[in-house]
Each structure stands twice: as structure tokens, then as C-alpha cells.
Amino acid sequence: MGLEAGGETLGELFVNAALALRTVLLGDRCLVPDLVQEVELPGEDSEELLVAWLSEILYLLETRGLCPCAFEIDEIDGKRLRGRIRGLCVVECAIELEREVKAVTWHRLSVSCNEGRWRARVYLDL
């Protein structure tokens, strides 16, 4: 399944890509987060950083049961990201996923800025 996201800034693009992943996982449910996970990730470029960011969301869901609800980027420069993932405990809230996502792939991955607008395309392995 492919995702496309956009934003006025690189940080906004990453938040919107995470929200798109959240929609794939949870549909349009309105959830109020009560947990916060600080995230700091390195990357060689914006593409690698986007894969790392979305993969971290999946990792936290799988290993810690953190159901992602909201996302904040404090700092991003294309080689490093610092922010937060807000969510709920899947087990405590008995949340069922709409779809299981196995991985974020590199297939046809793109992150670009054209005329001041950031765009990304990324594919998920379901």
C-alpha cells in the first residue's frame, strides 16, 4: 500500500506521513493519547529519516504496545529528527488494528521539495 504526504516544512511532512500511517493502522478513529514516547533518530538523508521515523512508530506499536495517536517534530534537518509520539496502550484500551503493517519499504521511496512544498511517497508491506 502506498502513502503520499505533503507539508509546508519537512517537519510538517513527517507529521503528515505519520498521520497517514496511523490511518492505515487505525482507520478514522478519534483517540485521546495518554502516553508520550520521546524519539531521536539519525539518517543519511530525508528518505532514510522518513523510513526510520515510520519504522519507529511500527516498532513501538509491536514491542511496547504504543498505539500511535499524535506526532510532534521538535527538530529535523534531513539527517536527524527529534520529536514525540503520543499514544495509548493497545492492551489496556483493547484497540484492534484495521490493518497490520509489516514494514516500511524503500520501494519507490521519494522525499522532495518543489516550490517550497514538501512531498513524500512511501510504500508499506502489509
CATH topology of domain 2-125: Archease, Possible Chaperone; Chain: A; domain 1 (3.55.10)
Q: Is the pLDDT of residue 53 over 90?
A: yes
Reported as a single tens digit per residue, the pLDDT across 81-106 is 999 999 999 877 778 889 999 999 99
* 58 or 28, which is more confident: 58
Tell me the three cell numbers of residue 114. Answer: 518543489
Q: Is the pLDDT of residue 10 over 80?
A: yes
Q: Which amino acid is at 104?
A: V
Pairing mode of beta strands 110-114, 80-89: unpaired
Stated pTM of the model: 0.94
Q: What is the pLDDT averaged over residues 109-126?
A: 96
Q: What is the pLDDT averaged over residues 27-40?
A: 90
* 109 or 94, which is more confident: 109
On the 0-12 / 13-18 / 19+ scale of CB atoms within 10 A, 33 is middle
